[in-house]
Every structure is written in C-alpha cells, then in structure tokens.
A and B are shown apart, each in its own frame.
Chain A
Amino acid sequence: MKKHIYLIALAISLFSTQVFSVNVEFSGYGSIVAGKTFGTVDDPINIGERRDEIFTADFYDVGQYNNDFSFKPETVFALQAKTKLSDNVSITAQLVSKAVDEFSPDLDWFYLTYKLNEDWTFMAGRRNIPMYYFSEFSEVGYAYPWIRPPANLYWWQVTQFNAVQALYTFVWGEYNHTVNFFYGNEYSKDNKEMLFYERLYGTGASSVDEFWTDITGFNWNVSGEYFDVRFVYFVNDRDRDIFFPDGSMTSNRHFSQSFIGFGGTINLYPLTILFDYNFVDYDDVRGTEFPTYLISLAYSIDEFQPYISYSKADHERTKATPPTEDLEEHYLLSVGLRYDFIPTAAFKIQLDKFVDQGHAPTGWNYHGDSTALTFGVDFIF
C-alpha cells in the first residue's frame, strides 16, 4: 500500500513540475457509509447453528455487514485525473481506494480516449464492463438515489475488463442515440468473490483464478427529454482454475455466456422511475439461466428524495435432468431517503430487507435472510 502512495505522490509531483507542463484535471467521488444488520438466522450452511444476519452490499469485493456496526463494507474514495495529450486525445485514470481493501488504491480505470470527430469516439484501456444499466458507475454513489445499486443483482465476480470500445453518437427520430461497441478480456487472478465462496463451503481451496474472455457486444443508449434507456447484449467465454494448498488444481468446464438487458430511467420530475431487466444464459450442459430485474421509484420534494426499490434474482437449470428452478433465488426490498444538503454531496439513509428464497435442502439459500440499516454521505468534487 505504501508503495502505491509513493508512486501516486511521485506522479502528482511530476505532473505539477515545470518540466512537464501538462494540464491535469482532477476530480473525484466518494462515499462514507456505515451500517449493520439486526438479529440472527439459522446458518444455511452449518445446519443447526445460528449466526449473525449477513447483508452483502458489495459482492465483487465481499463487502458485508453483520451485527457489528461498521464503515468497512462500502466506504470508498476515488480520484480521477484526466489530461489532454492533444485536442482529440486524452488519458483518464481513476485510483479507487476502498475500506474493504484496507484502502489500498487500485487503478480501476485507466484508458485512452480518441475523439475522431463529433460522431465517433474510441476508447482503449481498463474500464467497467457495461453490463447492467448502473454497472459502469456503480461505485459513484452520488449519481443515483440509493446507497448502492441493488446488491443482489450486481453480484458478478468480474466487473472490469481491458477493452477497446467504439462509440457512435447520432440524433434519430428526435432522440439522442449512442451505440457503444466493445471487445475485451479479464483475467482475474486470485478472485476475491470466488475464493469467498470456496471458503464458505469449506473446500480448502487457497485461490481461484476467474477468466472472462472475448467479451464482445454492444450497448444502444437512447435518450429524450424525459427518459434515458439502454439495451445491452454481449457474449463471452468463461473459465475458472481453483488452486489448493498441496499444489493441485482443478479447472471448471469451459462454457460461454450471453448477457442481454434493457434498463434505464424515466424522469417525470418530481417522479423518477428506474428499472432494469437482465437475462444471463450459459451454454453449459445444465442450461443455466439467471433472469433478474429491478424496479424503483424516487420522488423529489425540494432537496429530499425518498425512494423505494425492489430487485429480484433467480437461477434456473433448463437442461438439467429434471430441469429445476429450485436453486438460488432472492429478492431485496429497500426504502430510503436521499437529502442533497449541498449541491455536491448527499446524505442517504436506507433500510434493506434481503429475503433468501433459495432451495434450502440443497444449500442454495446460502446468503440467508437479513435486514440492514445503512447511512452515509456520497460526494463529488
């Protein structure tokens, strides 16, 4: 961690010296959030035992609340630096530092932007995969009403990739369109979320490498005066290597997945409707499918914005013998309030009720029910 900080300090001091008279624009965002769960549940994994309710707020980084009040699961600080190399070429980097990672900063975003003309923009480098409607800015708490996008949908173990993207912007039928084509790969060595599951089930694995390759697809974004909606489709290959302390390794059978989704926001000020429907389909022997959706309403009253949200995730195997829907399944019901106490920061308080409807006899209810109260401040600068 210290090494990172020295490097950042060095980079900043280099940029600020006269020798490199580069104009760097700094901006950033962050969230200081704390919360806890209430009560205990029957442990879905260790039958016969009780444990604290656990609410997973951040699946990718395994940010979880339990009965102990904590700032750790979601508190985050990000610094963005952008510099123009020429009139149409710029470099953007984002250092993201999370409490759940002991504030060790990671270069989560680092990409080059080339603006060919007013219609075409190209990007190359490290970015978030544009999966769900809120995926690309899922950590910019200030950008949406809730404390976080619904955690039970944003559950994937891979969220970023190294990619090339082409964006084409045009006006058609009085609406503004942007089509974003992308291709990228992610070789996630020592994947945190997958290792968490290995430990949860006591497999004895010491690390998991997760590979999402040939991530190929597009987004089509359409916006008008009162709405902004986005269609997404992509496919990619999936591989996983699981390592054990004795040096042995097992590999999951290779398969491909497709991701399709339609989501957006409808702005009927003071009412805002936010929604997302997504369908993930594996070409594995079991015919695995994950239909998920979100619907949320937020209502503005001056600087206050109360909201409610419902999100549902399901897991099915359509080619298993017999086909089954008795697998993972859960919904999350959230109510909260956003208060914009200054134009660049918002206080939020949110109550989440996570209901695990997974199949208990086979252990698919492994999350367990939970009720969590979280509050905090999201800001931009």
Chain B
Amino acid sequence: MKKVPLGFKSPVIKALIGVTAFVSFMASAEIAVIVHPSNANAIDKAAIEGIFMGKRNKYDDGKVAIPINGLKESPTRDSFNEKVIGRNSSQVNAYWAKLVFTGKGTMPQELANDAEIISTVAQNEGAISYVDASSVNSTVKVVATY
C-alpha cells in the first residue's frame, strides 16, 4: 500500500489527560494500543480487531475511527497481528487483499516508526494505533497492552 501522510484537520490535543504512567514500566516486548487522550470509549480486543480489519469504522460514541499501522516489515506490527488480530501478518495481508481488490476497504495507513505514530495519534482525535509499550509517552492514552 502506498504511504500517505495524514492530513486530518482535527484540533491539536486539548489536554494531556488520563495518561497511564505505569505503561513505561512495562516489558519492552509488550504492545500498547494507543488513542488520542480525549477518546473516552471503552475499546476491547474485539473492537480493536474490528477497526484494524476494516469491519468497524466508528467507536461506540459514534466518532470515526482512524486505524494507523506500523510498517509492513516492523516487528511491532507482526506482534500486534499475532496477539490482537489473532493471525500472522501474511494472513492479515491475505484478508486485506480480499477487501482492497473488491473495493470494500482501504488498508490502514502506515507510519514509519513509533515516534511518528505517537505524534500523529496525539494530534488526531479518531486515531488508534499501537507501539512498543516502552515508547509510550504522556501525549497519548493507552487503552490496552498485549
């Protein structure tokens, strides 16, 4: 998929609230699923899977969800696919091939590294992504770790 920079017009973070400080102490192999600090939705594994697999495009509060992936080759993405989606990366790609070539979906956009992902999620209210748990900072909210 082509890498496109995000161009959302959503306002910059309102406040650095609800930050889960304990996250930085988690083991580095852990994956943290992150959203904008203002996102108050309860987001369980099924919802994350639905959003990243193009089955669900909104949060429970009706706001549009914008999933963001790490790069195809990144270990974080492989780990996210295995732990959260429940399939390996090849199988996730195979699933997306069905949607992309029938016009039923567009693969989530990709960003180059954890720093880029965190700064993008911090600036977009609907964004949801995942990073190595040790990379998380206070500009984003962690909804779950795996």
Contacts and interface: CB of A to CB of B under 8 A. Distances in A.
A178 B97 CA distance: 18
B93 interface: yes
Nearest to B103: A92
Contact of A123 (B46, B88, B95, B103): B103
Interface stretch (B50-58, B112-120, B129-137, B138-146): B50-58
B12 interface: no
A143 B2 contact: no
**For chain B, which range describes its interface: under 10, 10 to 19, 20 to 34, or 35 or more residues?**
20 to 34
Contacts of B88: 300, 302-303, 340
A226 B49 CA distance: 10
Interface string A254-276: 00000000000001010000000
Interface string A160-195: 000000010101001010100000000000000000
A140 B93 CA distance: 12
Given A225-B45, A225-B46, A300 B103 contact: no
A142 B95 CA distance: 9
Contact of A136 (B57, B58, B102): B102
A137 B45 contact: no
Contacts of B98: 136-137, 140, 143-144
Contact of B56 (A113, A128, A176): A176
Q: Please indicate which of the listed interface residues B46, B87, B91 has the most CB atoms of chain A within 10 Å of its own CB.
A: B91
Interface in A60-108: 78, 80, 92, 94
A178 B56 CA distance: 10
B101 interface: yes
B116 to A, nearest CB: 21
Given A78-B101, A267-B87, A344 B57 contact: no
Interface in A321-350: 340, 343-344, 346
A303 B93 CA distance: 13
A46 interface: no
B10 to A, nearest CB: 15
Q: Please indicate which of the listed interface residues A26, A27, A128, A226 has the most CB atoms of chain B within 10 Å of its own CB.
A: A27
B1 interface: yes
B57 A169 contact: yes
B6 interface: no
B100 interface: yes
Contacts of B55: 176, 223
Nearest to A142: B97
Nearest to B58: A118
B101 A343 contact: no
A27 B93 contact: no
A344 B93 CA distance: 7
B20 interface: no
Contact of A267 (B57, B86, B97): B86
A225 B101 contact: no
B124 to A, nearest CB: 16
Nearest to B56: A176
B64 interface: yes
A136 B57 CA distance: 22
A174 B103 CA distance: 24
A114 to B, nearest CB: 12
B41 interface: no
Contacts of A92: 103
Nearest to A134: B98
B101 A94 contact: yes
Contact of B101 (A80, A178, A303): A80
A343 B1 CA distance: 13
Nearest to A90: B103
A377 to B, nearest CB: 13
A343 B58 contact: no
Given A169-B57, A223-B55, A29 B87 contact: no
Interface in B53-75: 53, 55-58, 64, 72-73
Contacts of B97: 29, 137, 140, 142-143, 380
A127 B56 contact: no
A137 B89 contact: no
Nearest to B107: A27
A142 B64 contact: no
A25 interface: yes
Contacts of B45: 225
6 tightest Cβ-Cβ pairs between the two chains A and B: A340-B90, A176-B55, A143-B97, A143-B98, A136-B102, A225-B46
29 contacts: A26-B2, A27-B2, A29-B101, A80-B101, A113-B103, A118-B64, A136-B98, A137-B98, A137-B101, A142-B94, A143-B94, A143-B95, A143-B98, A171-B50, A171-B56, A174-B46, A176-B50, A223-B53, A225-B49, A225-B50, A225-B86, A269-B87, A269-B91, A300-B88, A303-B90, A340-B90, A340-B91, A346-B94, A380-B93
